[in-house]
Amino acid sequence: MRKATGTGGKKAGTARASLLSLPNMGPVTAAKLAKIGIDTKEEFLRRDPYAVFEELREKIDPTLCRCALAGIVGAKKGVPWHKITKETAKEYEKRHPLHKWGPC
């Protein structure tokens, strides 16, 4: 069995497990969040989800789509991503008017 990567060891695995308790949050997203210094549920919940998404796009994965945004916002709000995809995309577009969405 492989150990969780990121900030290292059992502590990182436990922290990532707390992230995984959030709706829409899977191991891939949790690993990406760890790469920008978000290792716990508490750290994630303190942040603006739109700023988190933007940081992930800039530093980790520029191909993130509106469904990924909805997953991140939904994790913060406790809402399934598919129920808020259009709403979150419109809010992101207000904040970033030059952004063009790629395919999901």
- The span from the CA of 25 to the CA of 39, in Å, is 13
Q: For the chain, what are the domain ranges?
A: 9-95
Report residue 16's pLDDT band, with 50, 70 and 90 as the boundaries.
low
For the domain made up of 9-95, give the CATH fold: DNA polymerase; domain 1 (1.10.150)
What is the CB-side half-sphere exposure of residue 20 using CA atoms within 13 A? 11
- The span from the CA of 46 to the CA of 84, in Å, is 20
Tens-place pLDDT, residues 43-79:
999 999 999 999 999 999 999 999 999 999 999 999 9
Helix (H, G, I), strand (E, B), or coil: what is residue 40?
Answer: coil
